[in-house]
């Protein structure tokens, strides 16, 4: 029994080492830094990939990453989780509409940063919201993600039609004041969102881990991204957001995330605590 | 200064005593003076009376002797001699007395001596002899004697001598009395003088004493006031030079101030320290802040902060922070309860103080060396009767009472803080744990979702692949079977094809001819429609309602649109049928800009768009082409540009191609070529649509049709006309950034040259251009093939979307609608009719209900309805109620119900949402939107 435990511990240590090496390799080869990501999540992704390709050890996987063309990209895609939906957590978008948008209304230009926009569902939701509030024309939405592949998808504004029923529900729950169908047309596979929604959206590759702030924003959305980061990395990214927010700007996090235990909390005020909407006050 | 204490009471008493003593002295002095004066007076009086008495006695003795002598003489009786004898002895006695009295006065003594001589003379000469004579009875002699009266002279002398003696004596007395009076006067003056002096002394003393007392008191009050004004007892103290009760008062006050100051210092420092660690959320931070604050205020050189930790029921204290030194070097890392003095302090929960530590005790490091501490204090921090933390501080000096008091007092409240921070840290730790867990859960759920999506995609792909494989298999089989048959049929078909091709060409000509004729025929009735509807719009007789007039306006404008469409078709069909005549002639290019400006400036102004025309100097004045067609092309291009430009500018640039730009082939056609470009900043055309837009009825985007209208014939006409003129049109455009159409046209004074050369030049040009016109014929053929499909599908906007979608079998699109059962709930027959037609066209089965009640009836019968289109305003039972019943009573929660609401009514949307609508579309219905929504709600969810 003891032997078995020892064996397992040793295996664990080996796996840890291998994972470290793999992540270092990925970083050195691609520039994508996953070394500070949530360890459990990353290792699950790696094991998932190993299971799919029937690879016994991480080292073998690493070999393929190094020597096999395209395999690195494959792995990077595995690493990026792009779960999103339109008007995800409708109550959040409702709160955004009632509690945040009115405070942005008087700005001559509204700069919004959607960090970690994945396939863009929430960016388009934001654009629809702004359109309905009459602010789309003076808003600029910077939609960024570290994964260029999903960014390419996001640029299309084309989403699977099967999900539109639930999006419609979300839209209505989020306080949409038009018919949702005003914004898209469909074929039997996809819903194509009208291009006027895209006119003020700038899609760009940006890595929260390695890249710096690139503008000053009135509103930053970064929902369900930080959960993939280790606490020190979360802290670092919060610093980035703080630096990128204008005074009285808003920071919106995912429903499972919070600013409450971050050192920076004293610089923020909770606007809608339940929806994780914070305002930078100093 | 060790001065004798002199109180206010003593000062006043001394003052009084001084005054009393002065008074006593003066009284005694006065008394002595008065007594001596009295004595002198008495002495004077006595002296005077004695002198008088003695003088009188002497005189009396003389008289007695005289009278006794005379009596004896007369009587002869010896008894009479007795007084004489007495007197003769008496007077001597008296005389001696007198002489004694006046002994000090030599003048008087002399007089007395004279008097004695006289008296003795009398006695010797008159007295005794007479008596002798009588005794001897010598009468004659007596008579003789009496006659001569020798004695008389003496007695008279005595009398006068006495008189002068007494006179001198009286004068003496008077003199002495006068002297006495003088002394008396002096005494009186002295008395007044004394009174004044004593009064002055009294006043002096009292004012001195009062000043002494009042000055000190006012000094004290001044100082106290100053201290009070300065807002505290910071340093200033009352200084008193005197040694009295005021000094005591000042000392007491100073002591009070000292005490207050100490207390204030304590309170201030405690408050300061407490403030510094307010809001501190970690125990280490608290310990650090606390130690540095305490050290700052107590001249502590060394300090460590231990916090109680319980691991497996074993209590130990672990160092959280230290002062003066990195935490590794100062103090031990941890200790157990009762271990060492510090452990003992924790166990006993009391303070330990050690002074005079040995030299080898832990040394306090400075930059230059190490110093041993002098005193160490260990303080347990008590909370809930437990030492939850222990502080040890050490100093090189010695802690004074106040510093110790500060430390003691501050640690009293620290327990609560430590406990609350520990509690808070525990809460934060637990919250963080729970947050980490929820985050982990979220991460896992997202990962799972991703994985399931991946699996789904994979299985779908697999499914598709197997489907495709089966299909390919089948096709292969069929094909091998067909192959033989086909090869046989091929030859036959080839022949037929040739025939058909000939026929097709004919047919196409017939078709175009037919269209040309048709257009003509169509214009006639259309004209009447236009005229009549215009009349109606003008509403001359005022018998139309506003709404009806609006209808008429719509009819009219539709008619106008139709007319222009027919004109376009006519033009196009004429070209295609070869029925158009091209008349080459002179064109004056100098007039062209003005013409175009005149034509399009109004449009530009109306749309608020800039319209710029530039013409290069190299452009010749005269150019040879078909003026009408040429202008038509330009007009169409410009009209097109204005139509699709919402803001910015439209520009027309006319240039002559220079020699380098004109290729040899082009040279063969004409040496003069113009390049006329029309640029706009409009919506632009995506690259993949560049070819398409020149096709009949085509626009870049289905959505464009809705937004901008138009038939899409304009560019086709341009293309056809430019062909006729030997010209070509190229397009450069980017979506969203505008487009530039460029017409490259030759000057042909002799009309068009051979077909061959034209084709050659096109090929050459098109190699460099975006649009390849050699493919145009193929495209046309494709279009013709699709035409049949168009007839079946009245809504054709999907053309573009289908191109975006991955190549899956087109049946899927049909499957979405095919045989789906839709229930139309509406009370308006026209609406029902229109919807029915549109939906049935897509292969859907329609059911109709005129109101909510009918709807419910139908639904109770028919359980296979796929979607409901629900109008809201209906008689009997409105849409809201109907939906509520469907959702709540019939429990059809998943059935898609699409509410048809009025656009303006926000309330409608909220209410329909509440009632359970799955989605809503606003009326009037946009067919594309309707089908979009229907796709959303009809698409099989199983695929997901």
Give the full edge-to-edge strand order of the sheet including B821-825: B845-849, B821-825, B867-871, B897-902, B919-923
Is residue B140 very low, low, confident or very high in pLDDT (cuts 50, 70, 90)?
A: confident
Identity of the residue in B703, B913, B936 whose CB atom sits nearest the CB atom of A186? B936
Q: Which two tokens stand for residue B314?
A: 């074993």
Residue carrying the six token digits 């960016």:
A123
In sequence order, the β-bridge partners of residue B305 are: B321, B391
Tell me whether residues B813 and A188 touch, CB distance under 8 A.
yes
Give the per-residue pLDDT at A48: 86
* pLDDT band per the 50, 70, 90 thresholds, residue A144: very high
Contact with chain B for residue A254, Cβ under 8 A: yes
User: Of B846, B841, B852, B853, whose CA–CA distance to B823 is shortest?
Assistant: B846
Please indicate whether residue B696 or residue B661 has the higher confidence score (pLDDT).
B661
Tokens 């109709």 label which residue?
B848
Task: Tell me the residues of chain A between 58 and 87 that have a Cβ less than 8 Å away from chain B.
Answer: 81-83
**Strand pairing category for B364-365 and A245-253:** unpaired
In this structure, are residues B642 and B601 in contact, taking their beta carbons and an 8 Å threshold? no
pLDDT at B59: 79
Which DSSP category does B794 fall into?
S
> Average of pLDDT values for B389-393?
85
Please list the helix, strand and coil fractions of chain B in percent, rounded to the nearest 5, in that order.
65, 15, 20
Q: Is B6 on the interface with A (CB under 8 A)?
A: no
Whether A161 and B805 lie within 8 Å, measured CB to CB: no
CB B353, CB B400: distance < 8 Å: no
Q: Which of A185, A194, A222 to mutate to test the interface with B (most CBs of B within 10 A)?
A: A185
Angstroms from A185 CA to nearest CA on chain B: 5
Give the mean model confidence (pLDDT) for residues A146-151: 88
Averaged over B781-794, what is the pLDDT?
36
Scan residues 876-935 of B and list those with Cβ closer than 8 Å to A: 896, 901, 906, 909, 913, 918-922, 928-929, 931-933, 935
Q: What is the pLDDT of residues A216-228, one digit of tens each?
A: 999 999 998 888 8
How confident is the model over B685-702, as a mean pLDDT? 66
Mean pLDDT of B506-520: 71
| Residue A51 sits at the chain B interface (C-beta within 8 Å) | no
**The tokens of B527 are what?**
């004209």
Interface of A with B in 179-208 (CB under 8 A): 179-182, 184-192, 194-195, 199
- Whose tokens are 């091998």? That residue is B480
Better-scored residue on pLDDT, A65 or B835? A65
ipTM exceeds 0.90:
no
Q: Which residues of A touch B937 (CB under 8 A)?
A: 165
Q: Interior CA angle at B363 toward B359 and B365, to 5°? A: 140
Lowest mean pLDDT among B450-459, B602-611, B779-788: B779-788
d(CA B586, CA B583): 10
Arithmetic mean of pLDDT, B726-734: 84
pLDDT tens-digit profile of B613-653? 888 888 888 888 888 888 888 888 888 888 888 888 889 99
Which of B130-144, B427-441, B766-780 is the least confident region? Answer: B766-780
Q: Do A161 and B936 touch (CB under 8 A)?
A: yes
Q: Please tell me which residue, B903 or B42, carries the higher pLDDT value.
A: B42
Q: For residue A79, what is the nearest residue in chain B, using CA coordinates?
A: B447
Give B390-453 as a 3 state SS string: EEEEEECCCCCHHHHHHHHHHHHHHHHHHHHHHHHHHHHHHHHHHHHHHHHHHHHHHHHHHHHH
Whole-angstrom distance, CA of residue B199 vs CA of residue A135 = 104
**Quick check: B452 pLDDT over 90?**
no
pLDDT value of position B808: 40
Task: Name the minimum distance, in Å, from the CA of B812 to any CA of chain A.
Answer: 7
Q: What is the pLDDT of residue B791?
A: 36
B756: pLDDT confidence band, cut at 50, 70 and 90?
A: very low
CATH classification for the domain delimited by B280-399, as one of 3.40.50.300, 3.40.50.620, 3.30.450.40, 3.40.50.1110: 3.30.450.40
Q: Tell me what the pLDDT averaged over chain B comes to.
A: 77
Residue A140's pLDDT band (cuts 50, 70, 90): very high
Q: Where are the alpha helices (DSSP H) in B577-652?
A: 592-607, 627-643
Which B-chain residues 781-800 have CB contacts (< 8 A) with chain A? 797-798
Measured distance CA(B402)–CA(B58) in Å, rounded: 108
CB atoms within 10 A of CB A31: 11
Please say if the pLDDT value at position B942 is more than 50: no
Q: Which of residues 701-760 of B touch A (CB under 8 A)?
A: 702-703, 735-736
Substitution target from A164, A172, A181 for chain B, most B beta carbons within 10 A: A181
- For residue range B551-569, list pLDDT tens digits in order: 888 888 888 777 777 777 7
pLDDT at A24: 92
More confident of the two residues B941 and B244: B244
Query: Using the beta-carbon criterion (under 8 Å), do A188 and B943 form an inter-chain contact?
Result: no
Please check whether residue A103 touches B, CB under 8 A. Answer: no
Q: Say yes or no for a CB contact (<8 Å) between A186 and B451.
A: no
- Alpha-carbon distance A162 to B943, whole Å? 7
- The CATH code that applies to domain B8-203 is 1.20.120
- Neighboring chain A residues of B702 at a CB cutoff of 8 Å: 185
CATH number 3.40.50.1000 given to B809-943 = no
- Render the burial of A178-215: b for 16+ CB within 10 Å, e for the rest: bbbbbbbbbbbbbbbbbeebbebbebeebebbeeeeee
pLDDT of B712 strictly over 80: no
Please indicate whether, in this complex, the C-beta atoms of B919 and A177 are within 8 angstroms of each other.
no
Under an 8 A CB cutoff, do B922 and A179 touch? yes
Are B97 and B54 a contacting pair, CB within 8 Å? yes
pLDDT at B767: 37
Q: Could you state, in order of their start, the residue ranges of all structural domains in chain B?
A: 8-203, 280-399, 581-787, 809-943
Of A81, A184, A258, the CB nearest to B932: A184
Which percentage of chain B shows pLDDT scores above 90? Answer: 2
In the predicted structure, residue B454 carries a pLDDT above the cut 70: yes
Longest Cα pair distance anywhere in chain B, in angstroms? Answer: 256
User: Is B816–A165 a contact, with Cβ atoms under 8 angstroms apart?
Assistant: no
Residues of A in contact with B929 (CB under 8 A): 179, 181-182, 185
The reply to whether B432 touches chain A by the CB within 8 Å rule is: yes
pLDDT category at B429 given cuts 50, 70, 90 is confident
Three-class SS of residue A176? coil
Domain A90-280 has CATH 3.40.50.150: yes
- Residue B64 reports pLDDT greater than 50: yes
On the 0-12 / 13-18 / 19+ scale of CB atoms within 10 A, B406 is buried
Per CATH, the number for B581-787 is: 3.30.565.10
Give domain limits for chain A. Answer: 2-79, 90-280
């Amino acid at each position: 029994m003891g032997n078995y435990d020892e064996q397992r511990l040793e295996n664990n240590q080996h796996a840890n080492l291998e994972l470290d090496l793999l992540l270092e390799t990925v970083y050195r080869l691609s520039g994508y830094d996953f070394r500070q990501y949530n360890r459990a999540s990353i290792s699950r992704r790696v094991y998932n990939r190993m299971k799919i390709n029937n690879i016994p050890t991480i080292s073998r996987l690493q070999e393929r990453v190094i020597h096999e063309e395209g395999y690195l990209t494959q792995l990077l895609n595995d690493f990026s989780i792009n779960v999103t939906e339109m008007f995800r957590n409708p109550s959040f978008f409702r709160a955004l509409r009632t509690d945040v948008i009115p405070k942005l209304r008087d700005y001559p230009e509204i700069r919004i940063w959607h960090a970690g926009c994945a396939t863009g569902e929430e960016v388009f939701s934001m654009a629809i919201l702004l359109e309905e509030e009459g602010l789309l024309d003076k808003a600029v939405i910077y939609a960024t993600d570290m994964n260029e592949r999903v960014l390419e998808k996001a640029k299309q504004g084309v989403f699977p039609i099967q999900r539109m029923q639930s999006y419609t529900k979300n839209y209505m729950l989020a306080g949409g004041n038009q018919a949702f169908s005003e914004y898209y047309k469909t074929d039997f596979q996809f819903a194509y969102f009208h291009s006027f929604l895209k006119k003020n959206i700038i899609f760009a590759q940006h890595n929260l881990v390695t890249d710096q702030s690139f503008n000053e924003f009135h509103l930053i959305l970064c929902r369900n991204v930080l959960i993939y980061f280790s606490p020190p990395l979360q802290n670092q990214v919060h610093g980035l957001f703080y630096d990128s927010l204008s005074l009285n700007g808003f920071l919106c996090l995912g429903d499972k995330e919070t600013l409450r235990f971050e050192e920076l909390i004293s610089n923020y005020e909770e606007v809608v605590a339940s929806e994780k909407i914070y305002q930078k006050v100093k | 200064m060790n001065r004798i204490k002199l109180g206010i009471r003593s000062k006043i008493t001394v003052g009084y005593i001084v005054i009393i003593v002065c008074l006593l002295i003066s009284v005694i002095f006065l008394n002595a003076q008065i007594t001596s004066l009295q004595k002198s007076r008495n002495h004077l009086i006595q002296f005077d009376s004695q002198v008088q008495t003695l003088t009188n006695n002497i005189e009396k003795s003389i008289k007695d002797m005289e009278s006794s002598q005379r009596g004896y003489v007369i009587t002869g009786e010896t008894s009479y001699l007795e007084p004489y004898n007495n007197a003769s002895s008496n007077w001597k006695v008296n005389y001696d007395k007198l002489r004694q009295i006046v002994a000090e006065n030599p003048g008087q003594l002399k007089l007395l001596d004279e008097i004695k001589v006289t008296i003795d003379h009398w006695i010797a000469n008159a007295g005794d002899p007479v008596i002798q004579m009588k005794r001897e009875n010598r009468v004659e002699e007596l008579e003789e004697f009496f006659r001569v009266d020798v004695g008389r002279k003496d007695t008279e002398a005595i009398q006068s001598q006495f008189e002068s003696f007494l006179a001198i004596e009286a004068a003496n007395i008077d003199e002495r009395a006068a002297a006495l009076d003088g002394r008396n006067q002096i005494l009186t003056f002295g008395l007044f003088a004394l009174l004044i002096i004593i009064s002055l002394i009294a006043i002096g003393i009292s004012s001195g004493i009062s000043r002494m007392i009042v000055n000190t008191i006012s000094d004290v009050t001044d100082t106290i006031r100053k201290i009070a004004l300065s807002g505290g007892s910071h340093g200033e103290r009352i200084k008193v030079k005197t040694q009295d009760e005021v000094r005591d008062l000042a000392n007491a006050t100073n002591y009070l101030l000292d005490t207050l100051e100490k207390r204030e210092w304590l309170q201030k420092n405690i408050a300061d320290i407490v403030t510094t660690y307010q809001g501190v959320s970690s125990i280490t931070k608290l310990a650090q802040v606390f130690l540095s604050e305490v050290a700052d205020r107590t001249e502590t050189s060394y300090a460590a902060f231990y916090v109680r930790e319980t691991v497996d029921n074993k209590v130990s204290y672990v160092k959280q922070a230290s002062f003066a030194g990195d935490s590794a070097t100062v103090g031990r890392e941890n200790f157990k309860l009762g271990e060492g003095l510090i452990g003992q302090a924790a166990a006993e929960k009391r303070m330990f103080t050690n002074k005079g530590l040995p030299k080898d005790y832990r040394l306090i490091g400075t930059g230059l060396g190490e110093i041993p501490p002098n005193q160490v204090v260990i303080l347990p921090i008590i909370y809930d009767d437990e030492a939850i933390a222990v502080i040890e501080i050490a100093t090189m000096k010695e802690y004074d009472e106040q510093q110790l008091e500060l430390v003691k007092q501050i640690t009293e409240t620290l327990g609560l803080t430590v406990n609350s921070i520990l509690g808070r840290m525990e809460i934060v730790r637990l919250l963080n744990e729970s947050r980490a867990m929820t985050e982990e859960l979220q991460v896992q759920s997202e990962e799972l979702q991703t994985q399931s999506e991946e699996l789904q995609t994979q299985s779908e792909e697999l499914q598709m692949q197997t489907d495709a494989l089966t299909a390919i298999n089948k096709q292969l089989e069929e094909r091998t079977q067909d192959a033989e048959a086909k090869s046989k049929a091929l030859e036959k078909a080839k022949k037929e094809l040739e025939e058909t091709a000939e026929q097709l060409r004919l047919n196409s000509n017939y078709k175009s001819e037919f269209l040309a004729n048709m257009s003509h025929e169509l214009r006639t009735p259309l004209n009447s429609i236009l005229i009549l509807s215009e009349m109606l719009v003008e509403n001359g007789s005022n018998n139309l309602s506003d709404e009806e007039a609006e209808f008429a306006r719509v009819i009219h404008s539709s008619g106008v649109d139709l007319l222009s469409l027919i004109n376009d078709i006519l033009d196009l069909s004429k070209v295609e049928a070869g029925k158009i005549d091209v008349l080459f002639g002179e064109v004056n290019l100098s007039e062209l800009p003005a013409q175009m400006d005149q034509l399009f400036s109004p449009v530009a102004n109306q749309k608020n768009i800039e319209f710029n025309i530039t013409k290069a100097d190299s452009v010749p004045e005269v150019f040879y082409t078909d003026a009408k067609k040429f202008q038509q092309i330009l007009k169409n291009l410009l009209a097109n540009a204005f139509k699709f430009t919402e803001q910015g500018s439209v520009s027309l640039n006319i240039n002559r191609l220079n020699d380098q730009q004109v290729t040899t082939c082009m040279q063969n056609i004409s040496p003069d070529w113009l390049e006329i470009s029309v640029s706009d900043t409009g919506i632009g055309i995506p690259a993949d649509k560049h070819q398409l837009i020149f096709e009949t009825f085509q626009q870049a985007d289905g959505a464009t049709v809705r937004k901008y209208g138009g038939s899409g014939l304009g560019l086709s006409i341009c293309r056809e006309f430019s062909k006729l003129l030997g010209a070509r049109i190229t397009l450069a455009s980017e979506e969203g950034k505008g487009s530039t159409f460029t017409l490259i046209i030759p000057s042909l004074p002799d009309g068009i040259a051979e077909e061959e050369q034209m084709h050659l030049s096109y090929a050459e040009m098109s190699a460099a251009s975006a649009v390849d016109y050699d493919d145009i014929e193929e495209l046309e053929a494709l279009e013709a093939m699709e035409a049949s499909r168009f007839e079946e599908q009245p809504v054709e906007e999907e053309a573009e979307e289908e191109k975006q979608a991955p190549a899956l079998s087109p049946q899927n699109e049909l499957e979405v609608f095919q045989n789906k059962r839709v229930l139309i709930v509406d009370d308006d027959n026209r609406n029902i009719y229109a919807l029915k037609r549109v939906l049935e066209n897509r292969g859907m089965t329609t059911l109709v209900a005129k109101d909510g009640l009918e709807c419910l009836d139908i639904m109770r019968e028919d359980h296979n309805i796929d979607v409901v289109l629900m109008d809201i305003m209906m008689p009997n039972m409105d849409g809201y109620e109907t939906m509520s019943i469907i959702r709540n009573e019939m429990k059809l929660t998943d059935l898609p119900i699409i509410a048809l609401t009025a656009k303006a009514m926000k309330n409608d949307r909220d209410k329909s949402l509440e009632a359970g609508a799955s989605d809503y579309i606003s009326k009037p219905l946009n067919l594309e939107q309707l089908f979009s929504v229907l796709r959303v709600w009809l698409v099989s969810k199983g695929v997901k």
